[in-house]
Structure 1
Amino acid sequence: MLQHIVLFCIDRFRGERSIAAIDHLLNGKKTAQTLQDSKWYNVSRLFGTVPIDRSRLLHVARQLEANGWIYEVDEHIYRITSSGKEELRYFVFPPHVDGWKYMNESSLFWKRFSLLIQTVTNVIYRTPFEPVHRDERIQSFVKRWLFQHKHMQALVRSLYEEMYGLLSRVEEKEANIFVWRLTTRDRIGWTNEQIAYAIKEEDVAVWLSFQNVLHFILGTIEKEKETFPLLYSLREQKQIPLTTSAKKTWDLLKKGYGLEQIAQLRRLKKGTIEDHIVEIATYVPSFVTTPFLEENKRKRIIQQAYQLQTNKLRAIKEALPDVSYFEIRLALARWEKEDV
C-alpha cells in the first residue's frame, strides 16, 4: 500500500516536487506551500493520512526505483516510468479517505467518540477507569455531553444502534479494525501496529482502513443528521484551514485594508502578505481575487499552465514575462477544471 501511495504522489508531482514534499503532504504539515501543493497537484485526499518518517519514504523510493517504476531526475526528485504507470492501474485508494476535508475534525471526533465509548461502558457497571485521553478539553466535552444525556441505559442502546447502522455499511474487516481500536470495560484498544501484526497486513494499510471508516462515519452523519443524532453531536464545527498568520491577514482584508497597508500594519514583508493572499484564495471560496489579478491575466496563466502541463512557476513566468509570480500563484490557486 505505501509503495503505491508514494508512486501515486510521484506521478502527480511530475518531477516538480521532492520526497520532502511527499513527506509534508502525508504527514499533514500545515505550511502554505504544502496546503497549496495538495490542491494544485490534486492530492488533497492524501493530506495528513499517512504519518511516516522521511527515512522510510526514502527507502520506499529506492524500492520503487529498483522495481523500474520511477527514475531520479534530481536529488530526491523522481518521475514515474511507463511500467510505474501500469502498476498504478492496480492501485485502489480507500474510497472514503479524504484527509483534506476532515483535517480539522477527524482526530478530535475520534478522541471524543473513543473516550465516550470507554466512559459509558464503565459507568453503566460503576467501574472505575483510567481515561484513554488525558486532554482536559476532551474529558470536559464528554462530561458535558453525558450530562445532557442522563438516561444511561437508553443512551448506550441508541449509541449501539447508530454505530451498528454505520459499521454495517462498510467491509467487515474494516469495521473490525475500527472496533479493535476502541477501549471498553472489557478490553484495551489495540494500537495500529498490534492490529497489523494480528491480521498480518502492512501497518499503512491498516491505518488507512481505520481512516476510511472514520471518514465514512463523518461524511455519513453529516448527510444523515436525523438518523445519527448522537454521533453528529460529537462533531466540531468546520473551520477554514488557514495558517494563523494568514487568518490575521484575512481579517484585515475583510475590513478593507489593501496589500501594502496590511504589510505596514503587521510589519511584514509584502511577499509574506502575498503568500497569505494565495493561501486565502486556495481555501476561501468567497474570496474575490480580481483586486489582485485581472481576469484576462488569470485566463492566460491558466491556459499556459494547461498547455505546458505544469505548475512550475518559472516555466509559466518564462512563457508570460508580463505577469508576476504572485499573479501566477494566485491564478493557480483558483485553477478549476472548467477553466480549460
Structure 2
Amino acid sequence: MALSYSEALFLYCFKKIKDERTIYSLFHLFQGKKSSQTIQDAHLYNLTPFFQAFPFLTRQELESKVISLQNKGLLIQKAPEHFILSDKGERELSLFVTRRPMPPRYLDGWKYHHLTSLFWQRLSLLVQVASNLVHQKRQFIPVQNKQETLDWVKDYIRRQNLSREELGHGIFKELSHCLIQCEGEPAVLVRRLTGHDRIGLTSIQAADELEMEHVHYRLEFLNIVHFILHKAVETPGCFPLLDGIIRDIEKPVPFTLSTEKTYQLIKKGYTPGQIAQVRNLKLSTIEDHIVEIALHLKDFDLEAYVPKSKQERILQAAQNTSAKKLKQIRDQVADANYFEIRLVMAKNGDKS
C-alpha cells in the first residue's frame, strides 16, 4: 500500500535526523519551539521549512504515528526514542517523493512563522470587508473577532485612500497574480476566504472538500501563504496592497529575548566569558546564544570564534562521518571544542 502524505512526511523527517535525535526533536520542530536546540537542529538537518508547521500537534499524536510506522515495518527503533528508516521505509519514501516532492517548494516556516498567523488573520478579514464594501453590504459577521485585527483593517482601508471598487479590484488582482504564479492549488486558499455571498471553509472542511489528508492540506496552505509573503516582502512595489498588510510587522526572525541581550553585548565587544559573567549565566548558555545568532545573521563573523583552517577540518570530518554527531567529529578534530563544532555545523549545516 502506498504511503499516506503524513507517513511520508514523518519518514522524510526521520531520514533527515537519522537516529541522532529523538522523536521529540520533531515534536519541538513542528511546534516551533524557540529554544536554541530546536533552532539549531532545524538548520543542521535542513528541516527549516517545517518549523512551526503543526503548532497543535500533541505528543500522543506523534507517538501514535511512530508506533504505526513501526508496526508497518517502515521504521526501526535503534534506541529509546531513536528511530531510522527500514529498507522498506527507504523504498516507499523514494517512490513517494518522485511523485510528490517534499517539502512543498515555497514552504519556509523558519523565515515566515512569525508573520504567517497575523498575515492570514488580516488578509482573510480584509477580503471579507472589501467584498462587502463593493456590494454595499454593511451588516455581516466578521471572520476574525480580535479587536486589534478589526481596528487594523479599518485603519488600513482608511490609509489606502482608494474607492471601495479600487480597493476590491486591487486586492483581487494582487492575490490572483500570486495564485497564478504559485505552483500550489489555488482552491487550497480560496476555499477559506469569505465574501459578501459565501462563507469560507475551515481548514478541515477545505481539506475534506479537496479530498486531501489534513496534514497535506496544512502544508499546501502554508506553502501558498509563504509564497504570497515572499512576493510581498521581496517585491513590494508589485504588490503594494499585500505588502501593506505586513509592513508594520515585517522584520527578520526575532532572536529569543535572552539571545537578544547577549547579541547587544557582543556588538559592544564583549567576549563569551565576559558576557557569562555580566549576565550571571553559564558559559554554555551564552554559547547557545551565539550559535542562534550565527543562524540568524548572514554576515556573522565565524572566524572571530573559529579559525578558517579549523572550520574546514570540521566540515571535512562531518563529511567523512556522514553524521551530525559532535563526538564523531571531535574524534577527528581533537583541537576543536564542542562549541566550535556546533557553531561551524550550524552555520554550514547544508554544506556538510
Structure 1 length-normalised TM: 0.92
- Is residue 2:86 matched to residue 1:81? yes
Give the match's secondary structure for 1:78: strand
Partners of 2:122 and 2:153 within 8 A in 1: yes
- Measured in 1, the distance between the counterparts of 2:207 and 2:296 equals 36
The corresponding residue for 1:95 is: 105
Partners of 1:25 and 1:38 within 8 A in 2: yes
- Is residue 2:212 matched to residue 1:207? no
**Greater Cα offset, 17-26 or 51-60:** 51-60
**Greater Cα offset, 127-136 or 205-214:** 127-136
The one of 166, 169, 179 aligned to 1:157: 169
Partners of 1:122 and 1:185 within 8 A in 2: yes
The corresponding residue for 1:25 is: 29
- Is residue 2:230 matched to residue 1:225? no
Structure 2 length-normalised TM: 0.89
Give the match's secondary structure for 1:71: strand
Shift of 1:104: 2.0
The one of 39, 45, 59 aligned to 1:41: 45
**Greater Cα offset, 290-299 or 63-72:** 290-299
Give the match's secondary structure for 1:185: coil
Give the match's secondary structure for 1:104: helix
The corresponding residue for 1:134 is: 145
Partners of 1:240 and 1:284 within 8 A in 2: no
- Measured in 1, the distance between the counterparts of 2:349 and 2:329 equals 17
- After TM superposition, the runs of 4+ consecutive aligned structure 1 residues lying more than 4 A away are none
Give the match's secondary structure for 1:131: coil
Partners of 2:45 and 2:350 within 8 A in 1: no
- Measured in 1, the distance between the counterparts of 2:182 and 2:307 equals 47
Shift of 1:210: 1.1
- Measured in 1, the distance between the counterparts of 2:60 and 2:114 equals 27
Give the match's secondary structure for 1:134: coil
Q: Where do 5+ consecutive residues of structure 2 fail to align?
A: none
The corresponding residue for 2:295 is: 282
Shift of 1:336: 5.6
The corresponding residue for 1:60 is: 65
Partners of 2:132 and 2:196 within 8 A in 1: yes
- Measured in 1, the distance between the counterparts of 2:223 and 2:292 equals 27
- Measured in 1, the distance between the counterparts of 2:330 and 2:39 equals 22
Q: Which amino acid letter does the alignment assign opposite residue 50 of structure 1?
A: F
Once the two structures are superposed, the pairs formed by residues 1-340 of structure 1 within 5 Å of their partners are 1-51=5-55, 52-89=57-94, 90-91=96-97, 92-93=101-102, 94-124=104-134, 125-150=136-161, 151-170=163-182, 174-235=185-246, 236-335=249-348
Partners of 1:104 and 1:239 within 8 A in 2: no
- Measured in 1, the distance between the counterparts of 2:220 and 2:298 equals 31
Shift of 1:183: 2.5
- Measured in 1, the distance between the counterparts of 2:291 and 2:279 equals 17
The alpha-carbon distance between structure 1 residues 299 and 168, as it changes in their structure 2 partners (threshold 3 A), is closer
Q: CA RMSD in A?
A: 2.0
Partners of 1:114 and 1:182 within 8 A in 2: yes
Shift of 1:337: 5.3
- Measured in 1, the distance between the counterparts of 2:65 and 2:349 equals 32
Shift of 1:126: 4.0
**Greater Cα offset, 33-42 or 290-299:** 290-299
Q: Which amino acid letter does the alignment assign opposite residue 74 of structure 1?
A: A
Percent identity over the alignment is 36
Shift of 1:68: 2.0
Q: Which amino acid letter does the alignment assign opposite residue 239 of structure 2?
A: F
Shift of 1:170: 4.3
Partners of 2:111 and 2:253 within 8 A in 1: no
Shift of 1:323: 2.1
Q: How big is each residue's C-alpha offset from its partner over 1:252-310, in whole Å with a ceiling of 9 and x where there is no partner?
A: 11111221221122221111111101111122112213232222222222211111111
- Measured in 1, the distance between the counterparts of 2:180 and 2:272 equals 52
Q: Where do 5+ consecutive residues of structure 1 fail to align?
A: none
